Structure 1
Amino acid sequence: MTRAFATQLPPVRGLLINDLRAAFVGDPAARNFPEILIGYPGMTAIIHHRLAHLLYQIGARLVARLMSEIAHTRTGIDIHPGARIGSGFFIDHGTGVVIGETAIIGNNVRIYQAVTLGARHFPTDDEGHVIKGDARHPIIEDDVVIYAGATILGRITIGRGSTIGGNVWLTKDVPPNSIVTQATARNSPSAA
C-alpha cells in the first residue's frame, strides 16, 4: 500500500498545482500562491481530499475517512474520500460544503460555500437494508460554477459549462451551457 501510495504522489502534485492556479485565477482577492496554500480553507480541504482519495482507492479506507474528517473539522468542508474530482477544482469560502461519496466532478469546476452535492434518497435491498456504494450523488461536468447555498441531489448530471445560481435546489439533469436560477417569487392575485 505504501508503495502504491508513493507512486501516485507525482500525479496528485500536478492536480494540486492546477487547483492552486484555479484558486488564483478564480478569486480576485487572491494576491499570491502562498496566501492560498496557507490561508484558504478550500485549498486545505482539497489537499486533504486529494491524499485521502488516493488512500481510499488503494484500500486504506479508514485512514482516508479519518483524513477527510480532519479537513472537515479544520475547514467546515466535508468531502467524502470516494468523491472523484477533476483538475482545476476551486472551493471559494467553503464553509458548509458537502460532497458525497459517489459524486463525480469534472475539470475546472468552481463552487462556493454551503453547496451540497448529496443523495436524494438511499436505495434499499429486498430486506430494507441500505445498499452501500450505489451511485447516488451528482455528476458535475467540466467548467461548471455552482454558487452559494445550491443543493444538488441524486445521480443527476449538471452539463458542461453550466452556471447554477445561489440557493437553487436541483433534482433533475441540467443540459450543457445552462444558467439555472431561483424562480421569481410572485404574489398571487388573491394575496394582493
Structure 2
Amino acid sequence: MDKEKIIAELNRHKKQPYLDYRLKEETESFTNLLFYTLFDVNTPVAENLDVLETKFSRLTDLACWEIQKPCSKVWENYVSRLPGILEKLNLDAEAILNCDPASLSIQEIYMAYPGFYAIAIYRLAHELYVQGFPLVPRLLTEYAHRQTGVDINPGATIGKSFFIDHATGVVIGESAIIHNDVKIYQGVTLGAHYVAKSLQKTKRHPTIMSNVTIYANATILGGDTVIGENSIIGGNAWVTASVPANSTVFHKPEIKIKTAPSNV
C-alpha cells in the first residue's frame, strides 16, 4: 500500500473549498443555546445573548464566503427580532395545549412535544433565511429534522398558532404558505408536483388558508394548489387541485375483514 499516493488522491478529490463541517457542529451548538435562552427559566438572557453573539460571529466567519455580503450586520437585525419570534412560539405552544386532549401542561408542550420543537427551530431559522444568510438556516432546520422527523424548509411562510401533532414524517416545502390556526398531523406532505432545478424561483408548494386541519399522511402538491379556509383534509388524501373554503376532502379506502372460523 502506497499511503502517500492514497493521501494525494484523496486530497485531489476534495474539491469543495468551503466544505467545513465545523459550521454544522457550531450551528447545532448555537441552536441549543438559543433554544435554552428563549425558554429555560434558569438560563440568563443577558449573559447568553453575549455568548450567542460570539457564536454567531463564528458562524459568520465560516458561512459568509463572499466578502462583499454584509454578514456582520445580520446578528444585530436578528437579535432585534427574537422577541417577536418568541411571542409567535408562545402562541404555537398555546395552540397545541388547547387542541391536544393528551397534553397535560404548557410545560409539557415546550419540553416534550417534537412538533413544537420543530416549529421553534423553523421560526428561528426562517428569520435568517429572509435576511439571506447562507446555509445556516438550512442547517438549523435539518438539526431539528434529525431530532424530530419533521422537515420544514426555512423558506416556508407559516402564520400564527401553528400545530403539528405527533410530528414524525411531516414535510413542508420551501415555497409553502400556511396561514393562521392551521393543524397538521404526522406524515403530512406539502410538496411540489415536480422536482427540477429550473423551478427554483417559482412557487412550487401549496398554500393553506386559515383554520385548516390536515390529517395524517395526507399529501398536498403544487404551487397553484390552495386549500380554502375552515377546510378539513382527511387522512391519506392525495390533493393536487385547489379546495374551496369550508370543504371536507377524504380518501375512502375499501376495507375487507376476513374472520377465521371458530374452533369452539
User: Is the pair's TM-score, using the shorter chain for normalization, greater than 0.5?
Assistant: yes
The separation in 2 between residues aligned to 1:59 and 1:172, in whole angstroms, is: 32
Within the candidate set 24, 38, 43, 2:97 is matched to 24
- Do the aligned partners of residues 61 and 161 (structure 1) sit closer, same or farther apart at CA in structure 2, a change above 3 Å counting? farther
* Deviations 1:164-185 (CA, angstroms, capped at 9, x unpaired): 0000000000000100001454
**TM-score normalised by L of structure 1:** 0.91
Name the counterpart of 1:136.
Answer: 204
User: Alignment partner of 2:86: what SS?
Assistant: helix
Q: Give the conservation status (yes or no) of the 8 Å contact 1:102–1:133.
A: no
Separation in 2 of the partners of 1:35 and 1:60? 32
* Partner SS, residue 251 of structure 2: coil
Which residue type is aligned with residue 246 of structure 2?
Answer: N
Show structure 1 runs of 5+ residues with no match. 124-128, 187-192
- AA aligned to 2:231 is S
1:60 maps to 2:129: no
AA of the residue aligned to 1:12 = I
Size of the aligned set, in residue pairs, is 182
- Structural RMSD (CA): 1.4
State how far apart, in whole Å, the 2-side matches of 1:90 and 1:131 are. 29
Q: Match of 2:184?
A: 111
Question: Which blocks of at least 5 consecutive residues in structure 2 are unaligned?
Answer: 1-73, 256-264
Q: Which residue of 1 aligns with 2:216?
A: 148
| 4+ aligned runs moved over 4 Å, structure 1 | none
* 1:16 Cα offset (Å): 0.4
Query: How big is the shift at 1:133?
Result: 2.5
Could you tell me how far apart the structure 1 residues matched to 2:231 and 2:199 are? 31
Letter in structure 2 aligned against 1:6: V
Residue 236 of structure 2: aligned partner = 167
Q: Which structure has the larger Rg? A: 2
Residue among 110, 113, 117 paired with 1:44: 117
Deviations 1:17-43 (A, max 9, x none): 110010000100101111111100000
1:79 partner amino acid: I
Identical columns (%): 50
What's the CA shift string for 1:128-181, capped at 9, x where partnerless?
A: x52312101000000000000000000100000000000000000000010000
- In the alignment, which residue of structure 2 is the partner of 1:86? 159
Question: Does structure 2 conserve the Cα–Cα contact (< 8 Å) formed by 1:12 and 1:50?
Answer: yes
Q: What is aligned with 2:251?
A: 182
